Structure 1
């Protein structure tokens, strides 16, 4: 029984090589890679890189680095075959591909952006298991990860265009229905570390509907509570932006209502 099973397994191992052209096999493998990346993107909060390394010896960063390594290998092969002008352009693009660009393909966004949104602080137990698993961790040749050429100007323009398009889609599309896992204020313009003003994306998202005027004077004292572990831990380099956005919207609403009323007014104070 064991002999038959082993024989069947040996035959199965060679099926793809014997029956499927290598070019099609490459497409199958590429499709599986894309599905793996999509699977991990859909589980960004649940599946941390640290846990991936502990269990399998590789993580999303490894996938990005392997993309770069494959680019180097394909580039070297194309160079050895006396490339045409078109192939020379491809070689240049492959040589200019670095970790940052590859990571964007794996994560679906820049690594720094993904880390800010989804990375969680490791527990002592997670760190212990991670360190115990280090012998099986993937190793990467840092020299291969270095870029060999500057980014083509055309590629830079395309990247900038796609980035602007993606940001526009987020602001006008699914962002409002999925605010909890997207940074509203960074979706349109990334503020500097010292910039704590509210971006135009917030103004667009929180456009104020018309409100009927009040029929008497009112005095309001409002407190704004931000429920966020990261904001409470002061993990955002810009500081908490959601609280100021709410305050700005409220005060603007009161201002609009007062300007539309001739006989009554609202006095609003936001308390700390």
Structure 2
């Protein structure tokens, strides 16, 4: 009985002293965009989440495997099949050029690229221009990369540079290839101008300005061919690459054969520069 009286008294005291304070706390596990992006820690998390789309993304295979291997090399003579499975498999469809819009891996590729674009658009909208420029530059690079793969593999695409809902996405029309490349170039120029050349240590693997400019040059080289046939594209690629050639050379081994020497594997991870490794001094003598 005393316990009941205590509880009633406690409730009454709380109601008298704190009825003007609204307890409105979002559960941590239910984070969404409107309650996120409030600190550099969260913005960095969001940026890493975009990178994560290139990983397994909840599936069994990462993006390079399904796109660059299965959907690209797997269709070429660079990969030899002794025999193809007689059951319907995605790799068989790719190999036989029988891919459709319901081929599972094809759906995964297309969805994954637009997930990157969607995540990048959200970060770019939520993070102010004058703050956290680096994270905006990383998001811009990743959006450009996704669009570059989309336009080369699937042709004209809806150009989306802001967060949209599924209902709006279903009604969007494809835009000319020129519009897609316009956004790609703008994003890569922004990334190239707002990132450090390279990132090392714990941040090794994150995109830097040299990577952004190299990808921009590849974009220009692609534009020189079909279907755009831009007569000035090769010159634009040269202009883009010339200022960074010295930086790029630092990332290469002194001799091409070093790439295939397993004894030098650890040396290749030394600040990303084989020239710095003592293990290679006897080669230079």
| TM exceeding 0.5 | no
Q: Which has the higher strand share?
A: 1
> TM-score under structure 2 normalisation?
0.28
Q: Choose 1 or 2 for highest CA Rg.
A: 1
Choose between structure 1 and 2 for higher RCO, CA contacts under 8 A separated by at least 6 residues. 1
